[in-house]
Amino acid sequence: MPEIDLPDGFQINVLTDKVPNARSMTLGDEMIFVSTRSEGKIYAITNYQDNPKVFVLASGLYMPNGVAFHENNLYVAEIHRVLKFENIEESLNNLIQSNDFNANSLSYSVISSYPKDRHHGWRYIIVGPDEKLYIPIGAPCNVCDEPGYGVITRMNLDGSGKETIATGIRNTVGMTFHPHTNDLWFTDNGRDMLGDDIPPGELNKVSFKGEHFGFPFCHGSDIVDPEYGSLGSCSDITAPVQELDAHVAPLGLKFYTGTMFPKDYHNQIFIPEHGSWNRSEKSGYRITLVKLDQDQAISYETFASGWLKDEQSLGRPADLLILPDGSMLLSDDQNGVIYKITYNQNN
């Protein structure tokens, strides 16, 4: 485990190191479910509070990056489709107790199809307070204008009623809902090949259906794209709530909804920054914190760092999960590790 720098009073430990390529996480009633991107597997972690045990509940999937749990069912977003595992925890417990458990023993149904493009094709998925599934479709390119891509979609839990709710989004791999207003917030990864320091990554908020966030003609608040700038005006888009550092690859953001951390952190946004691949000096490889006053960002700062040392990647933060006790989990797909961050003012 790399040496991680945290504010005073915070500690970080390894919850489990048995989840190769750990990406997105979702919390069930009894278990934690973890997706992968390159491994093609979905993991379940039982007894996560005191003695974690890891099971592979599905394998051979097509970049199953997204997982969401709702009313006993697990939804998994592969590149090209969304799967539904019904009564997942009961079914998995029965298999474990039978001593005849093996990956792919659990049945699922396909509830929706999506484009098959691998470029920005790995999908995030969440269930909203309206009990609908929210799934993005990333742009199949660095920068291009392709109808039906660069959007966030929404559909019913059975896959019906699919619609587009937001556009002009290059590639979001992190979405969450505000715990009080129920507004949808998301991160967006800016385009490449404009230099080390532009364009910024983005933290955005959806305020109305059909809102446009600028891609491909405008990046950040006011950076006109040199190839596609004629397609629109930066004055007509919704600007980011917060511009993030360039190329940090912000992923699975979360509002802190627990009570373990000090009050200054309550209902503020934590963002795992997966890290750059295209800068002369690397950026990201950390967790950042965006503090808000209502819907306005008032600060953007590093919360946890140490996964980058002397230009060497020691880990890549991917997703966050807030547990009922107020601790925060962090997945690291480079190391196949899930960390647990806690706070104790006496330490």
Question: 10-343 sits in which CATH class?
Answer: mainly beta
Q: What are the strands of the beta sheet with 328-332, ordered from one edge?
A: 10-16, 337-343, 328-332, 317-322
Q: Phi first, then psi: what are they for 43, rounded to 5°?
A: -110, 150
Q: Let me know: does 127 contact 70? Beta carbons within 8 Å.
A: yes
Would you state the pLDDT for residue 347?
Answer: 63
Question: Closest by alpha carbon to 82, among 157, 13, 19, 139?
Answer: 157
Question: Closest by alpha carbon to 28, among 14, 48, 12?
Answer: 48
Calpha distance 238→222 (Å, rounded):
10
Distances (CA, A) of 264 to 36, 97, 156, 178: 32, 44, 36, 16
Residue 334 identity (one-letter amino acid): Q
Place of tokens 């997703």: 319
Distances (CA, A) of 284 to 43, 200, 201: 26, 12, 11
Q: What is the model's pTM? A: 0.97
DSSP-assigned letter for residue 250: B
Place of tokens 């006109």: 224
Calpha distance 287→307 (Å, rounded):
10
Which H helix or E strand runs over 14?
strand 10-16
Q: Which two tokens stand for residue 139?
A: 């742009």
Q: Which residues of the chain have pLDDT under 70?
A: 100, 347
Calpha distance 325→84 (Å, rounded):
28
DSSP for 86-142? TTHHHHHHHHHHTT---TT-S--EEEEE-----TT-----EE-TTSEEEEEE--SSS
